[in-house]
Amino acid sequence: MNPAITTAYGTLLLLAFAGIAAACIATADWVAERCGSLKIPNADRWLIATSVNAGLLLVGTIFFGGWAMLAVTLLLAIEFFLFARVHDRLVPAKDRALTKHNVNEVFKGLPSRLKRFSSMIRRKFQKGDDAGLTPSAGAAAGLADRFKELGGAFGGGAKKNAATAAAAAAAALGHAITPVKIDLRKKDGRPAFETNGDDAMSSNVLAARKMLVDAMEREATDIHFEPNEKQYTVRLRVDGVLQTDLTVPVDAGKGIISALKVISDMDIAERRRPQDGTFSAIYNEGKYDMRAACTPTSYGEKMVIRVLKSSGGMLKTGLSNIGIRNSILTQLREVIHKPYGMFLVTGPTGSGKTTTVYASLSEIDAAQHNITTIEDPVEYRLDGITQISVNTAAGVTFASILRSVLRQDPDVLLVGEIRDKETAEIACQAALTGHFVFSTLHANDTVATITRMLDLGLDATLIQTAVTAVLGQRLARKLCTQCRQPVEPPPEFLQRLGAKPGVIKHIYREKGCEACGNTGFKGRVGLHELLVMNDEIRGLIVEQPSIQDLRAAARRNKTRSLQTDGMLKVVEGITSISEVVRVTTA
Ligand SMILES: [Zn+2]
Q: How far is the CA of 485 from the centre of ligand 1 (A)?
A: 10
Q: How far is the CA of 218 from the centre of ligand 1 (A)?
A: 14
Domains in the chain, CATH or no CATH each: 3-173 (no CATH), 183-309 (3.30.450.90), 314-476+526-560 (3.40.50.300)
CA angle 502, 504, 505 (to 5 degrees): 75
Q: How far is the CA of 164 from the centre of ligand 1 (A)?
A: 21
Q: How far is the CA of 508 from the centre of ligand 1 (A)?
A: 12
Q: How far is the CA of 480 from the centre of ligand 1 (A)?
A: 5
Q: What is the pTM of this model?
A: 0.59
Residues 77 and 50: beta-carbon distance below 8 Å:
no
Three-state SS for 44-75 is HHHHHHHHHHHHHHHHHHHHHCHHHHHHHHHH
Q: How far is the CA of 404 from the centre of ligand 1 (A)?
A: 51
Q: How far is the CA of 323 from the centre of ligand 1 (A)?
A: 20
Q: How far is the CA of 161 from the centre of ligand 1 (A)?
A: 14
* Per-residue pLDDT, 463: 95
Q: How far is the CA of 521 from the centre of ligand 1 (A)?
A: 6
Q: How far is the CA of 483 from the centre of ligand 1 (A)?
A: 4
Q: How far is the CA of 94 from the centre of ligand 1 (A)?
A: 42
* Per-residue pLDDT, 345: 97
Q: How far is the CA of 512 from the centre of ligand 1 (A)?
A: 4
* Per-residue pLDDT, 154: 34
Contacts of 109 (CB under 8 A, 6+ apart): 26, 29
* Per-residue pLDDT, 378: 80
Residues 31 and 47: beta-carbon distance below 8 Å:
yes
* Per-residue pLDDT, 174: 44
- Is the link from the previous residue into 491 a cis peptide, with omega within 30 of 0? no
* Per-residue pLDDT, 143: 43
Q: How far is the CA of 479 from the centre of ligand 1 (A)?
A: 8
Neighbours of 70 (CB within 10 A): 14
Q: For the residues of 200-266, what is the DSSP string, one character each?
A: HHSHHHHHHHHHHHHHHHTT-SEEEEEE-SSEEEEEEEETTEEEEEEEEEHHHHHHHHHHHHHHTT-
Residues 391 and 404: beta-carbon distance below 8 Å:
no
Q: How far is the CA of 523 from the centre of ligand 1 (A)?
A: 11
Q: How far is the CA of 580 from the centre of ligand 1 (A)?
A: 18
- pLDDT tens track for 263-289: 999 998 988 899 999 999 988 878 888
Q: How far is the CA of 58 from the centre of ligand 1 (A)?
A: 48
Centroid of chain to Cα 585: 24
Q: Which amino acid is at 379?
A: E
Q: Is 192 helix (H, G, I), strand (E, B) or coil?
A: coil
Q: How far is the CA of 569 from the centre of ligand 1 (A)?
A: 18
Q: How far is the CA of 576 from the centre of ligand 1 (A)?
A: 13
* Per-residue pLDDT, 541: 93
- pLDDT tens track for 431-477: 999 999 999 999 999 999 999 999 999 999 999 999 999 999 999 99
String of b and e for 206-225 (b: at least 16 CB within 10 Å)? bbbbbbbbbbbebebbbbbb
Q: How far is the CA of 201 from the centre of ligand 1 (A)?
A: 37
Instruction: Please list the ranges in the chain whose pLDDT falls under 70.
Output: 1, 32-47, 50, 90-95, 105-106, 108-109, 112-113, 115-180, 194-201, 311-317, 586
